Amino acid sequence: MSEASDLEQRFEDKIAADERIEPKDWMPDAYRKNLIRQMSQHAHSEVIGMQPEGNWLTRAPTLERKSVLLAKIQDEAGHGLYLYSATETLGVTREELVAALHEGRAKYASIFNYPSLTWADIGAIGWLVDGAAIVNQISLQRTSYGPYARAMVRICKEESFHQRQGYQIMVRLAEGSEAQKQMAQDALNRWWWPSLMMFGPHDGESAHSAQSMLWKIKRMSNDDGRQKFVDQTVPQADIIDLTVPDPDLKWNEARGHYDFGEINWDEFMQVISGNGPCNRQRLGQHKKAHEEGAWVREAMAAYAKRKAETAHD
């Protein structure tokens, strides 16, 4: 057997045995490339996802809500950090990853291209967006690439707090005045379908799923994740007497799942192609913050260089 096919075989054997692939292990270039794509987009999503919530920091209704929201936003920044660091173990630099985002060669989660119009949106984001992220990320704790799986374990611990604080906001509004309940219903109406889109296209339309499942990068299909999210979330809406905006939503006893309506895939394609309600704003804000933060990066690099030079004095 040639050396190359021997390496390939060893890689396949590790995947088959559910062993983790580590940075120093040999891996097919396509495996590495797929991981850089997905992990960097995951990291970009965490960082850009801070924007819609950050818009409400100065307008939180109480000091307690403000500190909870601040804690959540700081967590998201940390999630981005873990994921960028895990991606860099694949031999790519942070600068390259950020350039790909700024030049439109890398995506981030479609959901963050929608505006956060009222305080109830902060509840809906925690409840639905973090709720959907948890479904996806719990399965990613079993992903075959070691650094990604370990980052997920840490992130999932914090995500459950994110989902709970969001749902708690929705409970308080739904139990409040008629106007507050209407605000919560309006947020559910606007965030429900974009949350279902977070799981990606139907399995049959997914460009990467088949190979990602074979390599155990992806441990749950897009449609299975979406179904799991719907099944767990609809009862939560029922409990607070909010109506999921889907006339086709119905419990299917035979399937043991909810049947639900068709997603607007044209909208999805528009949003992931850069034509969503807030794409330009989100990317513009990220570029501006990156430029304004250049002096911090330069100072850190100069400090590190100086430290390395004087380490031998």
Contact between 212 and ligand 3HC by CB under 6 A: the answer reads yes
Supply 279's token pair.
Answer: 């794409």
For the segment 88-107, give every residue that binds ligand 3HC (CB under 6 A). 107
Q: Which of 165, 209, 233, 279 binds ligand 3HC (CB under 6 A)?
A: 209
Contact between 118 and ligand 3HC by CB under 6 A: the answer reads no
CA–CA separation, 186 and 124 (whole Å): 10
Q: Is 201 in the site for ligand 3HC (CB under 6 A)?
A: yes
Of the pair 182, 270, the CB lying nearest ligand 3HC is at 270
CA 175 to chain CA mean position, Å:
29
Q: Which is nearer to ligand 3HC, 155 or 184 (CB)?
A: 155
Distance CA 51, CA 296 (A): 20
Q: Does 130 bind ligand 3HC (CB under 6 A)?
A: yes
Looking at the Cβ atoms of 133 and 230, the one nearer to ligand 3HC is: 133
Does 272 participate in binding ligand 3HC (rule CB under 6 A)?
yes
C-alpha 79/C-alpha 85 separation (Å) is: 10
Burial of 155 (0-12, 13-18, 19+ CB in 10 A): buried
Min dist. Cβ of residue 218 to ligand 3HC (A)? 6
Q: Report the site for ligand 3HC in 222-241 (rule: CB under 6 A).
A: 222
Which of 40, 116, 118, 136 is in the footprint of ligand 3HC by CB under 6 A?
136
The residues, ordered by sequence, that sit 6+ positions from 101 with a Cβ below 8 Å of its Cβ are: 40, 44, 108, 283, 286
User: Percent helix, strand and coil across the chain, each rounded to 5?
Assistant: 70, 5, 25
Interaction between residue 110 and ligand 3HC (CB under 6 A): yes
> Of 146, 151, 190, which is closest to residue 19 (Cα–Cα)?
146
Contacts of ligand 3HC in 28-47 (CB under 6 A): 37-38, 41-42, 45-46
Most distant pair of Cα atoms in the chain: their distance: 75
Task: List the one residue from 35, 40, 65, 76 that touches ligand 3HC (CB under 6 A).
Answer: 76
Compute the half-sphere exposure of residue 157: CA atoms within 13 Å on the CB side of its CA.
6
Least distance (Å) between residue 108 CB and ligand 3HC: 7
Name the residue nearer to ligand 3HC (CB basis): 244 or 271: 271
DSSP 8-state class, residue 19: P
**Residues binding ligand 3HC (CB under 6 A):** 37-38, 41-42, 45-46, 49, 76, 79, 107, 109-110, 129-130, 133, 136, 159, 197-201, 206-209, 212, 218, 222, 272
